[in-house]
């Protein structure tokens, strides 16, 4: 398994893999948006221009990814690395893929923090589906709880 920072040449494969992953979460929607491949291409380009995309590959196939972009938080005056998507193929979830990608993500964050470009990393759980990610073991702490009423 190879873990690396993605390049713009990976964008079509990344978008395809995100769409595959979304099939597993049919209740996941983004209010007011029609989520198309173009929408995810735009998000990927945002990450390439002002953030990072980490991917896991096995035999040349992308099996997972973490997408994050830098965002200035107007409430805390901090620049955050906002994690907008994480996924690992279902058959690979018991592997070390996520944690190895996260380690690379953490390396990116630490480098950016040393240069005063990022103050913190934000990672939200966006679905009610069970996840194997142990956020506290990754060094995260819960700082807010968001309620949604639709």
The rounded mean pLDDT for the chain is 81
3-state class (DSSP) for residue 139 = coil
Domain boundaries, the chain: 2-138
pLDDT of residue 72: 85
pLDDT of residue 51: 93
CB contact set of 98 (below 8 Å; sequence gap of 6+): 56, 64, 86, 88, 132, 133
Radius of gyration of the chain, Cα coordinates, nearest whole angstrom: 15
Predicted TM-score (pTM) of this structure? 0.79
Q: Return the closest-CA partner of residue 123 out of 50, 78, 67.
A: 67
pLDDT of residue 140: 63
Q: Superfamily assignment of 2-138 in CATH?
A: Gcn5-related N-acetyltransferase (GNAT) (3.40.630.30)
pLDDT of residue 39: 83
Low-confidence ranges of the chain (pLDDT < 50): none
Tell me the C-alpha distance between 105 and 67, whole Å: 9
Residue 12: phi and psi, rounded to 5, are -65, -40
């Amino acid at each position: 398994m190879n873990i690396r920072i993605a390049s713009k040449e990976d964008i079509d494969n990344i978008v395809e893999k995100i769409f595959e992953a979304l099939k597993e979460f049919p209740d996941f929607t983004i209010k007011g948006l029609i989520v198309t491949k173009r929408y995810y291409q735009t998000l990927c380009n945002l990450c390439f221009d002002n953030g990072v995309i980490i991917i896991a590959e096995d035999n040349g196939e992308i099996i997972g990814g973490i997408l994050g972009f830098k965002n200035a938080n107007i409430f805390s005056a901090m620049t955050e690395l906002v994690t907008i998507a994480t996924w690992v193929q279902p058959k690979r979830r018991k592997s070390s893929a996520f944690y190895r990608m996260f380690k690379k993500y953490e390396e990116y964050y630490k480098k950016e923090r040393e240069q005063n470009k990022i103050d913190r990393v934000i990672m939200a759980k966006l679905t009610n589906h069970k996840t194997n990610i142990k956020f506290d073991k990754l060094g995260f702490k819960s700082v807010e709880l968001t309620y949604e009423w639709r």
